[in-house]
Amino acid sequence: METELIDKVLKQTGINRDFNAKDVLTALDKEVLNIEDFAALLSPAAEEFLEQIAMRSKTETRKQFGNSVSLYTPLYISNYCDNQCIYCGFNLKNEILRGKLSLEEIEKELQAISKTGLEEILLLTGESRSFSNVEYIGEAVKLASKYFTTVGIEIYPLNVDEYAYLNQCGADFVSIYQETYDLKTYLKYHISGPKRSFVFRFNSQERAIQGGMRGVSFGSLFGLGDFRTDALATGLHAYYFQKKYPHAEISLSAPRLRNYFNNKTIETVSEKQLLLVFMAFRIFLPYSTIVVSTREREQFRDNLMGLAANKMSAGVTVGVGGHSEEKKGDEQFEISDPRSVNQINNMLINRDLQPVFTDYIRLN
């Protein structure tokens, strides 16, 4: 398991990107894209065909998901971290307000969120085993299962038996992002801590599925490395994974680097380029759930719904807590879309889209 998927993905990320208009149009004419077609849709040549790509992407989205858009919200329960990642607000070297919710505080937060009507929650921690051990996360998952039909986790990478334990506690999904698939760039940005292990992080989704989870997410943080390379690698990671585990539910995300504690980032990936990535994901992997983050501004998120993305967060706070009472710890990054669940719900209805609060029934 250690290198099988990595070898396949990294071998293909060096694919020739000297594509032309003919390559892009050929890809759009195919019912099922191969890897070179996917790379063509990510190439600079594809930027001249955004309208045609958008039409194909919208068709695929409607074919697979109708006009439905799933809603969820994240809940940060701790922001302690053992990693020194120079782009992240939770960096252990940053002098921020650190906080961790007690189980009683977690339940209050869950109760407040559940009153909005949401049925899906994503529990997040900083990547620290010492402050947020597996048992603590398991208890949080058990509490979340009382109020929500679907529980996801976005935490540090685990072993198979640990994922199995959290699945038994009630976790359904694991979100984990490689950040960048270029090893040199990865080591440059991850100075110290467990996250510096590229291989262990890469294989997290596989261990999660082997531990009984029904779904996993893939993604890069655009702005760290070459975004076309990282988008291609993200898609290939999900593609080969789906071939190996066809029963697994696959989710893709494409967040961009955003401002964090005492730091202003320089935008290196435009909205036009990000749009291209989302649409290429949809056409290449039509059955996958595609999520758009509150890192992006309102209008951009709204326009992606039904075009390429079919899932979005609402009522978001990225500090520790903050749903029932004041936040207990500082934010990981700055968000661009602070709208409430009700505001997002109304926006979708006004765009003739159907907000979906749950598509899953828990039988136990």
* Cα gap 103→120, rounded to integer Å: 19
Tell me, what amino acid is at 225?
G
Token couple for 319: 């500090």
The per-type count for the chain, helices as H runs and strands as E runs, is 14, 11
CA 306, 310, 314: angle at the middle one, nearest 5?
Answer: 110
Count of beta carbons in the 10 Å neighbourhood of residue 196: 16
Percentage with pLDDT > 90 across the chain: 77
Q: Is residue 288 part of a domain?
A: yes
Tell me, what amino acid is at 14?
G
pLDDT given for residue 334 in this prediction: 72
Token couple for 315: 């009522």
pLDDT given for residue 61 in this prediction: 97
Residue closest to 295 by CA, chosen among 55, 88, 9, 63: 88
Q: Is residue 24 part of a domain?
A: yes
Q: What is the mean pLDDT of residues 112-119?
A: 95
128 vs 268 pLDDT, higher one: 128
Whether residue 117 is predicted with pLDDT greater than 90 in this model: the reply is: yes
pLDDT given for residue 234 in this prediction: 97
Average pLDDT, the chain: 92
Counting the structural domains of the chain, the total is 1
Q: Summarize pLDDT for 141-152 with one digit per residue, the tens.
A: 999 999 999 999
Whether residue 1 is predicted with pLDDT greater than 80 in this model: the reply is: no
Whether residue 182 is predicted with pLDDT greater than 90 in this model: the reply is: yes
Whether residue 260 is predicted with pLDDT greater than 60 in this model: the reply is: no
Specify the long-range contacts of residues 268-276, CB closer than 8 Å, at least 24 apart: 268/222, 268/223, 268/227, 269/222, 269/223, 269/227, 271/296, 271/300, 272/47, 272/50, 273/47, 273/227, 274/222, 274/300, 275/50, 275/300, 275/304, 275/308, 276/41, 276/42, 276/46, 276/47, 276/50, 276/53
Give the three-class secondary structure for 316.
coil
Q: Is residue 362 part of a domain?
A: no
Q: How confident is the model at residue 319 (pLDDT cuts 50, 70, 90)?
A: confident
* Cα gap 88→261, rounded to integer Å: 8
Structural domain span for residue 350: 4-356
Residue closest to 283 by CA, chosen among 23, 44, 12, 39: 39
Whether residue 15 is predicted with pLDDT greater than 80 in this model: the reply is: no
CATH number of the domain residue 255 falls in = 3.20.20.70
Asked if residues 101 and 78 have their Cβ atoms less than 8 Å apart, the reply is yes
Tell me, what amino acid is at 156?
Y
Percentage with pLDDT > 70 across the chain: 93
Whether residue 16 is predicted with pLDDT greater than 70 in this model: the reply is: no
Q: How confident is the model at residue 299 (pLDDT cuts 50, 70, 90)?
A: very high
Strand partners, 215: 173, 249
pLDDT given for residue 193 in this prediction: 94
Terminal alpha carbon distance of the chain:
32
Q: Summarize pLDDT for 21-76 with one digit per residue, the tens.
A: 999 999 999 999 999 999 999 999 999 999 999 999 999 999 999 999 999 999 99
Q: Is residue 157 part of a domain?
A: yes
pLDDT given for residue 138 in this prediction: 98
Q: Is residue 363 part of a domain?
A: no
Q: How confident is the model at residue 321 (pLDDT cuts 50, 70, 90)?
A: confident
pLDDT given for residue 317 in this prediction: 82
pLDDT given for residue 97 in this prediction: 83
Q: Is residue 209 part of a domain?
A: yes
pLDDT given for residue 305 in this prediction: 96
137 vs 362 pLDDT, higher one: 137
Whether residue 261 is predicted with pLDDT greater than 60 in this model: the reply is: no
Asked if residues 287 and 253 have their Cβ atoms less than 8 Å apart, the reply is no
Asked if residues 218 and 252 have their Cβ atoms less than 8 Å apart, the reply is yes
